[in-house]
Structure 1
Amino acid sequence: PPRKRLKIDDDPFGAVGDYAGSFMVKTAVEAMAGYDTNPGRLYSPQGRAFYMVAPEFLAVSDWERHAVVADLRGSFTGYGSGLTPNADGTPLSAPLDIDRPNFTGHIDGRLDVSRDTHLLGQARLLVSTDNPGSPNVQAGLARYPIYTTVGGTFGIDQNFNRMQVSLGGTVDRTDYQWSKLTDGTSSSNDDRNFTQYGGVGRVSYELNPAVKPFVEVEGDSRFHDLYLDRNGYARNSSGGYVKAGTSFEFTRILFGEISIGYARRDYVDPRLSPLEGLLTTASLTWNATPLTTAKFYSDTQLGETTLPGTSGVLSRTYTVEVDHDFRRWLTGIGKFTYGTLDYQGDNRNDTIYSVSGDLIYKMTRSLWIKGTVRRDWLDSNQPGQSSASTVVMLGVRVQN
């Protein structure tokens, strides 16, 4: 009989991966070096050379029933000698170590009880620090304290013909290291540690194979280790959101998900006003041509803060990205991000902008060369808090 023709490879320079038992495993590591004109995001810039190492691990089960996916990504950015910021951006005599680790990982599992019933679970871990330029960064720090958020979700998906109902319970724990100060002492961050318990429900209906509208509701409660924070405010709170939207897919040319809703968080301390605002989320992809892809992302978050009298920060970000293959082995990526940070209960409002360009030369499936140029701005209505920075990076990506 004639031999079956192989499927055309959509990405001749994509990672192939290896099988480990019944799991398809793909790994990668990026090693970059460059220069940042203002890594501390200070009003008076202080530039530093840096390096970054970023490993990735992806494992996907290849089973007829049930599924497990592990997606682990991390990075470490080292700047060598420390910066010397003061509250107003002027130098201090003692340095600030601005090396920053980052890790985001989750393991998702699905147990197929029946054709219409699935049990779902997720374990997740986040490791990071406060962002440079954030008002949550303490004065007199010797280095940024690391925080970890570990959590899990357990839920169920039930299909009723075209309608799908999903319910889940969540628990997350956030812990901060003690802060090391430039005078050699340490400062506790126990008032920033908290445990969050919550639940989420979602109902969606498949109007047709391309359009699936949904309604989602979430509620949670946060309990801090210390009832009163460093400024005497009780920050235990309850909150949640409600949003409605749709996922869609039109012949793989335009697909994604978009929604709009409302989020609110109420605090035990009556001096803290509710943290609330319009909720906008989106993840859209448009395959304009076989060589050009445009993407749009939007997200809204209600975050914690240590500012006295301030409930929290309502942050919104919007990102537009265009990828173009000049050749199958040469890809250019342009990205623009706009965001707002509203510190409710305080008169501080920040606006962020970021413009970047990447050029990727794919030598083989396993080895890429990458170059990046990025410009970041933070425009604050508070005197001495605005900043700008230019970042240039060059490095390699090794993948399998």
Structure 2
Amino acid sequence: MPGPATGRRRCVFGSRTLLACLVLIAWDGSRARAQTLAPDMLRPMVGGLGSPQDPPLRKLAVDDRTDDSTGDAVVDDRRRNSKAQAVSQAGQVPEYGLPPASGAADTGFDSLNRTRKKPKLHPGQARPKAPAGPGSRVPAPPPVNRAGYPRLSVPPSQSANKPPTPPAMAGTVTGQPPRTRLKVDDDPFGAVGDYAGSFLIKSAVELGGGYDTNPGRLNVPKGLPFWVVAPEFLAVSDWERHALVADLRGSFTGYGNSLPPTIDGAISPAPTDVSRPNFTGHIDGRLDVTEDTHITSQARLLVSTDNPGSPNVQAGLVRYPIYTTLGGTFGIDQNFNRLNIAAGGTADRTVYQNSTLTDGSTSNNDDRNFNQFGGLSRVSYELTPAVKPFVEVEGDSRVHDLALDRNGFARDSSGGYAKAGTTFEFSRLLTGEVSIGYAAREYVDPRLDPLRGLLTAASLTWTATPLTTAKFYSTTSIDETVLPGTSGVLTHTYTVEVDHDFRRWLTAIGKFTYGTLDYQGDNRIDKTYTLEGDLIYKMTRNLWIKGTLRRGILASNVAGASSASTVVMLGVRVQN
């Protein structure tokens, strides 16, 4: 007998029921051929609900052999739709899931390190196209061939046998952040340097030659040709903590000929060989004990001679005697929030060579040798990150090797200075330090008057335009002398320098220096004026060509001590 009906009815085949089952099967088949499909019956379902925008699934096998004309029309339409859908999707890779960083906010950065704010465009950069929104036109699918595959956009001959460009180089990797632009080099012709371990080392040497109309700074000028060699060395540490800097600069000016030993029958006040060396070097170190406590130190060396035209130069010399000053400073630097206190001790030793005279004899300069010991302290307070006023006090004692000099004066002394100023930085256009104070020195010999005077110090840099920079320097020093009855020399110098770049490779430098030398106790006052112009042609980073024209004037209130000179020089600079 028949069981429960599920779809088609079940029959239990037997001898009595065979004919009844055949009749039932025939009747059910006729009913199945008469059924039609509703439009929404075979659409995909999400969570049990259908979406009217979802495309219909491909119709399952349906027996189109029916006598109903309506059923035939529906079957033909579904076949055409299924074929068109299969053709339009040919060659397309289906995408699953959500795109990366789709849940990020509208600001900040997403998981692909892409900014979510409005991008900043560079000059000449095209604006990115906005994504297609609702109602925008969607591009038509690519054309297909008879087999249903997309047609090639270019002939095969134009794309065959060509290696594809890596996506990373083409910039087409999905989610790849844009590449950052390289920083513009502020000095495209500056020295790059080399690394030796953790030190950046830069070196250079200048070679030049020219003509000096008065190298001895005589009242009656006598010109000579000259040549110059000036090496430089700079090493800077690249450490996370602590620091070490070595800055060494030197020069030697040699003259091909000699000056006459006598002028109008009198002994010349200038040496016959006016060649001069000059070297200035210092090594600075900093030890970071804590974030606010630092131990500082400096070792320094100075090699030079007396300036031409100075009254300290003996008459009848073969060459200038060389003096050497070797010293150092050791101190501590402590920060208390915005308050900074720095203190240290100094020690220096100055030694002169013996003088060689034109008659073959020598003159001892031991009376000019002395040791200097002192200490200094500086207190500063940071009002703002751009303004930091300070007060600095220094004191020292000078002890000579000989109690009396060649003229019988005891030159041991003690003194120092006090000054107040500030360091500042205004919009990075005007930076530097300026201070003013008072300097004084007392001598052991009562015949030598105390030396006193105004102290000025400044180092300012003004970036007027990206191509023009102005600088101002000012220094004050108390120097020793051997003039009888003269306590010392109070020296002030003021320098104004303007640099202008006509091109990145062509720079002009103008410099003016004014100085005063007050010989206290002798009533002698010398004034110096120097006007200099340099033109630098930078061929490469490693090779420069430099031309110099300099005019110097020494005006003195002592008769016969004034002089003037003009220097013309052309040289090259090789640097690394």
Superposition TM-score tier, normalisation by shorter sequence: over 0.9
C-alpha distance in structure 1 between counterparts of 2:470 and 2:267, whole Å: 43
For residues 319-347 of structure 1, the C-alpha deviation after alignment (integer angstroms, 9 at most, x for no partner) is 11000000010000001111111000002
C-alpha distance in structure 2 between counterparts of 1:83 and 1:6, whole Å: 57
2:510 paired residue among 298, 315, 334 = 334
Q: Report if the CA contact (8 A) 1:86-1:139 is conserved.
A: no
Kindly state the Cα deviation for residue 250 of structure 1 after the two structures are TM-superposed: 1.1
The question of 1:175 aligning with 2:351 is answered yes
C-alpha distance in structure 2 between counterparts of 1:92 and 1:133, whole Å: 11
Superposition pairs of residues 1-400 of structure 1, within 5 angstroms: 1=176, 2-84=178-260, 96-400=272-576
Letter in 1 for 2:404: L
Kindly state the Cα deviation for residue 80 of structure 1 after the two structures are TM-superposed: 2.1
Letter in 2 for 1:338: Y
Letter in 2 for 1:350: D
TM-score by length of 2: 0.68
C-alpha distance in structure 2 between counterparts of 1:208 and 1:169, whole Å: 29
Q: Which runs of 5+ in 2 are unaligned?
A: 1-175
Letter in 1 for 2:204: A
C-alpha distance in structure 2 between counterparts of 1:395 and 1:245, whole Å: 39
Kindly state the Cα deviation for residue 7 of structure 1 after the two structures are TM-superposed: 1.2
SS at match of 2:367: helix
For residues 126-172 of structure 1, the C-alpha deviation after alignment (integer angstroms, 9 at most, x for no partner) is 00000000000001111100000000000000000001000000000
Letter in 1 for 2:370: F
Q: Identity, % of aligned pairs? A: 77
C-alpha distance in structure 2 between counterparts of 1:252 and 1:46, whole Å: 47
C-alpha distance in structure 1 between counterparts of 2:252 and 2:227, whole Å: 8
Q: Report if the CA contact (8 A) 1:42-1:85 is conserved.
A: no
C-alpha distance in structure 1 between counterparts of 2:179 and 2:419, whole Å: 52
Give the structure 1 partner of residue 119 of structure 2: none
Q: Alpha carbon RMSD of aligned pairs, Å?
A: 1.5
For residues 255-287 of structure 1, the C-alpha deviation after alignment (integer angstroms, 9 at most, x for no partner) is 000000000011000000011100000000000
Letter in 1 for 2:320: Y
SS at match of 2:274: coil
Equivalenced residues, count: 400
Q: Report if the CA contact (8 A) 2:269-2:313 is conserved.
A: no
C-alpha distance in structure 2 between counterparts of 1:165 and 1:50, whole Å: 48
C-alpha distance in structure 2 between counterparts of 1:301 and 1:85, whole Å: 33
Tell which has more relative contact order, 1 or 2 (C-alpha 8 A, sep 6+): 1
Q: Decide whether aligned partners of structure 1 residues 91 and 184 sit closer, same or farther in structure 2, where only a CA change above 3 A counts.
A: closer
Larger Rg belongs to: 2
C-alpha distance in structure 2 between counterparts of 1:198 and 1:235, whole Å: 17
SS at match of 1:191: helix
Kindly state the Cα deviation for residue 3 of structure 1 after the two structures are TM-superposed: 3.7
Kindly state the Cα deviation for residue 4 of structure 1 after the two structures are TM-superposed: 3.5
TM-score by length of 1: 0.98
Letter in 2 for 1:298: S
Letter in 2 for 1:78: G
Q: Report if the CA contact (8 A) 1:84-1:91 is conserved.
A: no
